[in-house]
Amino acid sequence: MKKFISTVKNIFSIEDLRVRIMNTIGFLIIFRLGSFIVLPGVDPSRLGEAPEGIFGLIDTFLGGAFSNASIFGLGIMPYISASIVLQLLTVGVPYFQKMQKEGESGRKRINQITRVLTILITIAQGIGYVSATIMPTGAVMVSSTLFMFSSLVLLSAGTMFCMWLGEKITEKGIGNGISMLIMIGIISRFPGAIIAEGLEKGTSGMLLLLIEAAVLFFVVVGVIALTEATRRIPVQYAKQVVGGKVYGGQRQYIPIKVNASGVMPIIFAQSLMFVPALIAQIWASENDIANYIGATFSDFTSWQYNLLFAAMIILFTFFYTAITVNPEQIAEDMKRNGGFVPGIKPGAPTSEFIDGIISKITLPGSILLAAVAILPALAIISGVGGEFAQFYGGTSLLIMVGVIMDTLRQIESYLLMRHYEGMMKSGNVKNNPSNYQVA
């Protein structure tokens, strides 16, 4: 405990770090307050219950702003969608590939395109959000045309404001701003989930609640290991003599993450899991098989749903890793800088070697990622409340762990620069590949 108190004192004794932490807290408070400002013309008492499925996932990311019909009802999600689209375009379209290689000017142009695309996506999603989730509840108290127009303007402004908050957190705060906004939306539901679980279990179920908390602890530890696990590829750099000085000659490592795709495979798979039930509903009244399929894939705790969900995550993990990790580019950069993998020829053989390693570690990584994704369903089957079970795995837990670890690493770097001890007694909080090296 003394170590923890001493570390906190060290953190707040560094003026720059203290200011950044306070700025981050202030921006996050503004974001949370905006989540409770309801769109004009909506009667909050008539809004329905929290949505499920993909809409429920979005509502979790936004800390309830989606179900509250807030001005931040779409939050940062359109910006994330636009960023994903641009990321895929830079992989498959030569024009965007060239733009990405133009350095700072190219990045500025990509950012401008991303902002414009964000507004277009916000308008498209806003139309669906208002017409499909707000108007059917009967909570709209004004003309539907006027409400649609005003809501699209306010939702677009809210999304751009959230994007500005994220940029300000990155610039003047601590951590990645966009990720912090998503994380705070998820964490904001954690206290309510614990209280609801405690009330559901009652006094007689306190031991069971403690067991659930212990299991959650070990799940978090496992997700941290999955997030930080890497396979280190040794790289030897040739010695170069420049101006009488010797450069290079040392051995370094290229860390390849076991889960290089992060949470994207789960997001992609979850966004498609409503399709079987949706298609089955079309023929539900005519076909008993369609009724069975619709009922099965509407229940995310069924084994059929989870089997398909896990298979899609594994496939999307390989797909997303293939488009984000380029072995040829890594091999080319190594060759240009005079580096080589011991025992492997530079160029194409090195690219094939790295590609083989990525393929080997992606398979267990994808299986573990699929296991994490279906843990909430297994928790519900085991008797855990639905709200509390969301924190046993899935996208929510992966995002929280990733953002928190990244933020701790940034704080750690500030402490080490000021010659303070790290945040943990046994070592620094950093992405040390040797801690989780995969054979």
- Range from 14-28, 270-284, 386-400 carrying the lowest mean pLDDT: 270-284
The pLDDT-based confidence of 25 (bands split at 50, 70, 90) is very high
**If we measure between CA atoms, which residue out of 214, 222, 184, 169 comes closest to residue 75?**
184
* Mean pLDDT for the stretch of residues 10-27: 86
The residue written with tokens 């679980």 in the block is: 197
pLDDT value of residue 253: 84
Measure Cα distances from 284 to 52, 297, 298, 387 in Å: 21, 13, 13, 30
Q: Which of 233, 261, 439, 437 is nearest to 355 (CA)?
A: 233
Which one-letter amino acid corresponds to residue 67?
S
Which pLDDT score, from 0 to 100, does residue 156 have? 92
* Token pair of 75 as six digits: 């939050």
111 confidence band (pLDDT: 50, 70, 90): confident
Over residues 323-340, mean pLDDT: 83
Predicted pLDDT of residue 161: 92
- pLDDT at residue number 249: 59
Tens digits of residue pLDDT in 176-230 = 888 888 888 888 888 888 888 888 877 777 888 888 889 889 999 998 988 888 8
Side chain identity at residue 190, one-letter code: F
CA pair distance 190, 399, nearest whole angstrom: 14
What was the pLDDT predicted at 280?
65
Q: Given pLDDT bands bounded at 50, 70 and 90, which one contains residue 435?
A: very low
Grade residue 242 by pLDDT with cuts at 50, 70 and 90.
low
Residues 6+ apart with CB under 8 A from 251: 234, 235, 236, 237
pLDDT band at 50 (very low <50, low <70, confident <90, very high): low
Q: Given a cut of 70, is residue 430 above it in pLDDT?
A: no
Cα–Cα distance measured from residue 129 to residue 120, given in angstroms and rounded to the nearest whole number: 14
pLDDT tens digits, one per residue of 245-304: 655 556 788 888 888 888 878 877 876 777 776 666 666 556 667 677 767 777 777 888
- Reported as a single tens digit per residue, the pLDDT across 364-391 is 999 999 998 888 888 888 888 777 888 8
Average pLDDT of the residues of the chain: 81
Residue 437's DSSP bridge partners are 230
C-alpha 293/C-alpha 281 separation (Å) is 9
Phi-psi region of 174 (alpha: psi -120 to 50; beta: other; left: phi over 0): beta
Q: Which of 17-31, 368-382, 417-431 has the lowest mean pLDDT?
A: 417-431
What distance in Å separates the CA atoms of residue 439 and residue 431, rounded to the nearest whole number?
Answer: 17
pLDDT value of residue 241: 59
